């Protein structure tokens, strides 16, 4: 027996109230529970609410365990980013930056009032701002597949703060290296958006 739209909505709301905030994680769990409940209704001749209740009593802990994934540190995502930044086309750009550093005095284009370090900060803030607008204004829903890449920008920001703290000019090879990391991250993030759009999660 197939579940109705209302039944599906009931499962989705139940998961939302169980603190599963990401739509993409929830949709997969909803489908899993719905399929299991449909089987249970048929095999044990139960109505939707009894089948759902019986299933959740037995499986709630395991089902909600999936949500832990969204709270953990995604090494796979970091590995994906690291492989992305060493792709040949990206490395050609890195070489160009290195040559620029060798032959052009980058510092002369900046001042104490606006240093190269400030440019790095502006770039990080702009990307973060774009992400917030994209998640909360454009999509209006939260998706783990997109937000998990946010921690990479977070790591870049804090690493930059250690090596190039506030007040330093940052117009050296290290500054250019961070510029490359941030630039490559913006490309990486747009690639993630393209994959996301292909999945059409947004009609959820």
Partner 1 sequence: MKNSQLYKGSLNTIVMKLLEENGRMYGYEITQKVKDITKGELKITEGALYPALHKMEAEGILEVEVENVDNRLRKYYKLTQKGTTETVNKLAELEEFIKNMQSIVQPKLDF
92 binds partner 1 (CB under 8 A): no
Work out how close the CB of 92 gets to partner 1 at its nearest, in angstroms, rounded to a whole number.
Answer: 22
Closer to partner 1 by CB, 112 or 194: give it.
194
Q: At what angle do helices 75-85 and 150-163 cross, to 10 degrees?
A: 70
Number of C-beta neighbours around residue 192 at 10 A: 19
Length of the chain: 204
**Tell me, what DSSP letter sits at residue 136?**
I
194 binds partner 1 (CB under 8 A): no
Listed in sequence order, the residues at least 6 apart from 52 whose beta carbon sits closer than 8 Å to its beta carbon are 10, 11, 33, 37
Work out how close the CB of 109 gets to partner 1 at its nearest, in angstroms, rounded to a whole number.
Answer: 39
Task: Quote the CA–CA distance of 63 and 35 in Å, as a whole number.
Answer: 13
Residues 34-73: x where in contact with partner 1 by CB under 8 A, - otherwise, as a string: xxx--x-------------------x--xx-xx--x----
Closer to partner 1 by CB, 61 or 113: give it.
61
139 binds partner 1 (CB under 8 A): no
Task: Quote the CA–CA distance of 143 and 25 in Å, as a whole number.
Answer: 8
Contacts with partner 1 by CB under 8 A lie at: 2-5, 7-8, 27-32, 34-36, 39, 59, 62-63, 65-66, 69, 74, 76-77, 80, 199-201, 203-204
């Amino acid at each position: 027996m197939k579940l109705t739209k209302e039944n599906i909505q009931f499962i989705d709301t139940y998961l939302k109230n169980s603190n599963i905030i990401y739509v993409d994680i929830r949709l997969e769990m909803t489908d899993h529970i719905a399929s299991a409940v449909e089987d249970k209704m048929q095999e044990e001749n139960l109505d939707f609410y009894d089948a759902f209740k019986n299933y959740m009593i037995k499986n709630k802990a395991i089902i909600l365990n999936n949500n832990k994934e969204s709270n953990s540190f995604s090494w796979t995502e970091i590995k994906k980013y690291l492989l992305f930044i060493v792709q040949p086309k990206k490395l050609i750009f890195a070489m160009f930056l290195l040559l620029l550093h060798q032959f052009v005095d980058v510092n002369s284009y900046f001042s104490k009032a606006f240093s190269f370090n400030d440019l790095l900060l502006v770039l990080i803030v702009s990307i973060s701002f774009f992400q917030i607008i994209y998640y909360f204004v454009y999509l209006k829903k939260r998706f783990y597949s997109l937000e998990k890449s946010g921690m990479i920008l977070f790591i870049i920001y804090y690493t930059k703060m250690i090596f190039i703290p506030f007040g330093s000019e940052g117009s050296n090879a290290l500054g250019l290296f961070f510029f490359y990391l941030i630039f490559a991250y913006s490309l990486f993030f747009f690639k993630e958006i393209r994959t996301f759009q292909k999945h059409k999660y947004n009609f959820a």
